[in-house]
Amino acid sequence: MQIETIKAYHVVQPFVDGPYRMSKGRVAGAFDAVIVAITSDSGLTGWGEMAPLGNFYSPAFAAGVRAGVIEIAPHLLGHDPRALASIGRLMDTVFKGHPYIKSALDMGCSDLAARAADIPLVTLLGGRESETAELYKVVTHGTVDAMAALAKRIVKDGFHRLQVKVGGNVHDDIERVTAVADSVPKGTVIFCDANAGWTPYQARQFTDATRAIDYTFEQPCTTIDECMSVRRSLDKPMVLDESVASLDDMLDIHRKGAADGLTLKISRLGGVTKTRQIRDLAVDLGFMITVEDTGGAEIDTSAMAHLSLSTPEERRLHAIAFHEWVTVRTASNKPPVSGSRMGIPDGPGLGIDVVPDLLGAPFFEVGS
């Protein structure tokens, strides 16, 4: 089996609920996605997707993905897409760094490898641990009243897990989180996510003032050492996200005891294959795990779901349904969501039946 053609599409995916807001004025109105179709000489096609959340969330930007895919894709022609480790090494050899550019290509090869075996991708990733994963919803940054009202509405809709965006003015965020916690039933799971927006000084101010609230603290500061300095005086669990960009980062966090859980972003790590590698070792080391990504629609959400459901349930935190965030469709089906839980589509590979006509014309095509 060999890769015969690769096509790449540019699809802008506006948000259903309008602009997505984080602290410090960071805002995005859409996912700016690249979708790749990798077709083998057997006639099978695998699909991959990568979409950054603006230019501020991760060290990735949409124009960089489009330019990088054009550089890497020709080197993959003639190679076996099922040899995922070999494909990864080849991409790292011909294009130094920039893992986010390689993510959609690795995802497409992973989908194609599972389709060739006529099995769902979850089976290749270690096997299905449960039928569905619990979803969380994001309480985006805003006024105290707006955030409390949004949290109340999310819980009314049947969700029990909230990620509350903080990382702005400390005293204002203390007021925001207090209002959110007061507006939802006791037992609602709350994560306070600063997205690396604070100094250790600011993070300690926040944690000291919110000791009476039950929450998990997510990525308060930029570096692992800064987060570790906050953790020393913290009486709550800590999860790191932006700090996990490689296997070395994960091992460094483990050595230092800097976190209880990790959020693994597929594109930040370079694709499904490397995410699975880091996920498996992190599970064995005792971390709680969330597998998600920076954005996308049905294809990327399905990849997140397959990785989530192949994570042991006792080590899994939660998941997110990005395809419900956007106004556009890229496929005739989608990861099934029932209430506050998400499963995976039926069928081999990712299980997603992409409709090429929904993607527009490819901006790049290589191969016969």
Catalytic residues: 165, 265
| Of the candidates 3, 6, 149, 139, the residue with the CA atom closest to the CA atom of residue 79 | 3
Q: Distance between CA 294 and CA 240 in Å, rounded?
A: 15
CB 320 within 8 Å of CB 263: no
Q: Which residues pair with 38 in a beta bridge?
A: 6, 46
Cβ neighbour number for residue 187 with a 10 Å cutoff: 7
Looking at the chain, how many residues does it have? 368
| Of the candidates 105, 101, 107, 132, the residue with the CA atom closest to the CA atom of residue 121 | 107
Q: Distance between CA 191 and CA 149 in Å, rounded?
A: 17
CB 268 within 8 Å of CB 294: yes
Q: Distance between CA 336 and CA 340 in Å, rounded?
A: 11
User: Strand (E) positions, the chain?
Assistant: 3-14, 20-21, 27-28, 30-40, 45-50, 133-134, 137-139, 161-165, 189-193, 216-218, 238-240, 261-265, 288-292, 337-338, 341-342, 364-367
Q: Distance between CA 15 and CA 322 in Å, rounded?
A: 10
